[in-house]
Amino acid sequence: MNSILRSWVIVALFTAFLFAGLQSQAQNKSYPFKPGEKLTYNMKFGWFNIGEAVLWLDPEFHYPNKKPHYKIQFTVTTASWFKVFSKLSFCMESLIEVNDLKPLRSDRDMEGRNKIDIRHDYFTYADSISIKAYIEDLDEWRYHRFPQGNVPIRDALSTYMWLRSRDRSQFSDEIEMRTFFTNDLYEFVMLPGKKTTHRYEDRKVGALEFGLVFPEGEFFDEGKTGLVILSDDRNRYPLRMEIDMTVGSFVFELDKVEYID
């Protein structure tokens, strides 16, 4: 996988971050998101608009093991002119348990220039966390096991939903995260939020700004390497995210919020 395509994978991961009976049990959770929510982002590389990203929460709950689960989808589509440099079609989907926001299954379908990457990750929990991954384009199974530890392991989309579910008072300290993605465990830190304002829909809104620190390596330099701005209200919309990588800076700016029944 070439470096620009691998960078796309990492960006998709953390954009991820910065979303009667069992049915009513699921609906009574006091999360800032709800089924049917669709967030559309303009995507930039440096100063250039290069495409669109969409986070969509299925209006229906799913019950794969008789427990309510969210189904959330994240898609990235690059603009036609940018495909001259780097074609990318990316779709990631997760089933996430409502009560604790733990992932049950994560599916990914990514197509780049001369590269297809399709995989399915299955999560199980006991005294450790086991992840069974099927890489479809290689027709290969891979197995991973991690101790539970003090910091839960999540997939990319449940990381996003868990962070967004937190109350403002829970953002006063550094938050350590462990996210499993592409057969690897990415550990990063979200720095305490500070009050700010952000322009959205031609008006200024109250917001909270957080720094992100990823481990130094092939994709990230030492020091603060990202920024997330959340709306400072009950919705806690991710208004803007910036990821500074060794290949350049990626920016996601919230363009539109919709609710689909």
Mean pLDDT of all residues in 157-173: 82
Report which of residues 91 and 261 the model is more confident about: 91
- Is residue 20 scored above 70 in pLDDT? no
pLDDT confidence tier of residue 21, bands split at 50, 70 and 90: very low
Q: Is the pLDDT of residue 239 over 90?
A: yes
Q: Per-residue pLDDT for 18 more than 50?
A: no
In this structure, of 14-23, 29-38, 96-105, 120-129, the range with the lowest mean pLDDT score is: 14-23
- Indicate whether 59 pLDDT > 90: yes
User: Would you give the distance in Å from CA 179 to the centre of its chain?
Assistant: 10
pLDDT over threshold 50, residue 212:
yes
Percentage of residues in the chain having pLDDT higher than 90: 37
Once rounded to an integer, what is the mean pLDDT over residues 84-92? 69
pLDDT of residue 19: 39
CA distance linking residue 59 with residue 62, whole number of Å: 10
pLDDT value, residue 82: 56
pLDDT of residue 79: 74
The answer to whether residue 8 scores a pLDDT higher than 90 is: no
CA-CA distance, 260 to 59, in Å (whole number)?
Answer: 7
Average pLDDT over all residues of the chain:
82
Q: Assess contact for 168 and 233: CB atoms under 8 A.
A: no
Question: For 105-151, how does the pLDDT look when each residue is reduced to its tens digit (9 = 90+)?
Answer: 999 998 766 678 899 999 999 889 999 999 998 899 999 999 888 88
What is the model's pTM? 0.82
Indicate the range of 58-62, 69-73, 138-142, 172-176 predicted with least confidence. Answer: 172-176
pLDDT at 127 (0 to 100): 84
pLDDT at residue number 26: 46
248, two tokens: 């350049």
